[in-house]
Amino acid sequence: MQKYIPNRKCVGCQEVKPKNQLLRIAKNDRGVFIDEKQRLPGRGAYLCKKAECLHLAKKKKGLERSLKVTIPKEFYDLLDKFFAENYKN
Ligand SMILES: [Zn+2]
Protein backbone atom coordinates (compact mmCIF):
# COMPACT_ATOMS: atom_id res chain seq x y z
CA MET A 1 0.00 0.00 0.00
CA GLN A 2 1.20 3.49 -0.77
CA LYS A 3 2.13 5.63 2.17
CA TYR A 4 0.07 8.75 2.55
CA ILE A 5 2.17 11.90 2.41
CA PRO A 6 0.50 15.10 3.52
CA ASN A 7 0.83 18.27 1.49
CA ARG A 8 2.43 21.44 2.73
CA LYS A 9 2.74 24.92 1.29
CA CYS A 10 6.09 26.46 0.43
CA VAL A 11 6.52 29.77 2.26
CA GLY A 12 8.38 31.09 -0.80
CA CYS A 13 6.37 30.38 -3.95
CA GLN A 14 3.18 29.34 -2.05
CA GLU A 15 2.90 26.13 -4.05
CA VAL A 16 1.42 23.11 -2.30
CA LYS A 17 3.53 19.95 -2.55
CA PRO A 18 3.94 16.61 -0.76
CA LYS A 19 5.94 17.46 2.32
CA ASN A 20 8.71 14.99 1.52
CA GLN A 21 9.63 17.18 -1.45
CA LEU A 22 10.06 20.20 0.78
CA LEU A 23 12.59 21.27 3.38
CA ARG A 24 11.16 21.71 6.86
CA ILE A 25 12.26 24.58 9.07
CA ALA A 26 11.34 23.96 12.70
CA LYS A 27 10.84 26.39 15.52
CA ASN A 28 10.71 25.34 19.15
CA ASP A 29 11.76 26.71 22.53
CA ARG A 30 15.41 26.11 21.65
CA GLY A 31 15.39 28.20 18.50
CA VAL A 32 14.97 27.82 14.75
CA PHE A 33 16.45 24.84 12.94
CA ILE A 34 16.86 23.29 9.52
CA ASP A 35 14.91 20.08 9.99
CA GLU A 36 16.03 17.87 7.11
CA LYS A 37 14.53 14.71 8.56
CA GLN A 38 11.28 16.48 9.45
CA ARG A 39 11.32 15.09 12.94
CA LEU A 40 11.99 18.01 15.24
CA PRO A 41 9.24 19.05 17.61
CA GLY A 42 7.62 22.43 17.32
CA ARG A 43 6.10 24.50 14.62
CA GLY A 44 7.21 23.86 11.06
CA ALA A 45 7.48 25.89 7.88
CA TYR A 46 8.29 24.42 4.48
CA LEU A 47 10.37 25.50 1.52
CA CYS A 48 10.93 24.00 -1.92
CA LYS A 49 14.48 22.80 -2.34
CA LYS A 50 15.35 25.69 -4.62
CA ALA A 51 17.36 28.83 -3.97
CA GLU A 52 14.61 30.78 -5.68
CA CYS A 53 12.08 29.87 -2.99
CA LEU A 54 14.50 30.74 -0.22
CA HIS A 55 14.96 34.10 -1.89
CA LEU A 56 11.19 34.62 -2.14
CA ALA A 57 10.68 33.54 1.46
CA LYS A 58 13.25 36.08 2.59
CA LYS A 59 11.69 38.83 0.55
CA LYS A 60 8.17 38.12 1.71
CA LYS A 61 9.16 37.18 5.26
CA GLY A 62 7.41 33.86 4.75
CA LEU A 63 9.32 32.09 7.49
CA GLU A 64 8.68 34.87 9.99
CA ARG A 65 4.99 34.84 9.23
CA SER A 66 4.61 31.10 9.25
CA LEU A 67 6.68 30.46 12.38
CA LYS A 68 5.66 33.66 14.16
CA VAL A 69 9.22 34.41 15.14
CA THR A 70 11.99 36.79 14.11
CA ILE A 71 14.50 35.00 11.90
CA PRO A 72 18.03 36.16 12.68
CA LYS A 73 20.29 37.08 9.77
CA GLU A 74 22.61 34.28 10.88
CA PHE A 75 19.89 31.73 10.20
CA TYR A 76 19.35 33.05 6.69
CA ASP A 77 23.10 32.86 6.14
CA LEU A 78 22.98 29.26 7.29
CA LEU A 79 20.08 28.55 4.92
CA ASP A 80 21.92 30.20 2.02
CA LYS A 81 24.88 27.96 2.66
CA PHE A 82 22.70 24.88 3.11
CA PHE A 83 20.84 25.49 -0.15
CA ALA A 84 24.04 26.22 -2.05
CA GLU A 85 25.61 23.00 -0.83
CA ASN A 86 22.62 20.67 -1.08
CA TYR A 87 20.22 21.94 -3.69
CA LYS A 88 22.04 22.80 -6.87
CA ASN A 89 19.71 24.03 -9.56
ZN1 LIG B 1 8.55 27.06 -3.38
Q: What is the pLDDT along the chain (89 residues), one digit of tens a residue?
A: 778 899 999 999 999 999 999 999 999 999 999 999 999 999 999 999 999 999 999 999 999 999 999 999 999 999 999 999 999 76
Domain map of the chain by residue range? Answer: 7-86
pLDDT at residue 36, as a whole number: 96
CA of 80 to the centre of ligand 1 (A): 15
CA of 29 to the centre of ligand 1 (A): 26
pLDDT at residue 88, as a whole number: 76
CB atoms within 10 A of CB 83: 21
The arrangement of secondary structure in 7-86, i.e. its CATH architecture, is 2-Layer Sandwich (3.30)
CB 23 within 8 A of CB 47: yes
CB 14 within 8 A of CB 66: no
CA of 48 to the centre of ligand 1 (A): 4
pLDDT at residue 49, as a whole number: 97
pLDDT at residue 71, as a whole number: 96
Instruction: Collect contacts of 15-19 with beta carbons under 8 A, ≥24 apart.
Output: 15/48, 17/48, 19/46
Q: Which protein residues have a CB closer than 5 Å to ligand 1 (ion)? A: 10, 12-13, 48, 53
For residues 8 and 20, give the distance between their C-alpha atoms in angstroms, rounded to a whole number. Answer: 9
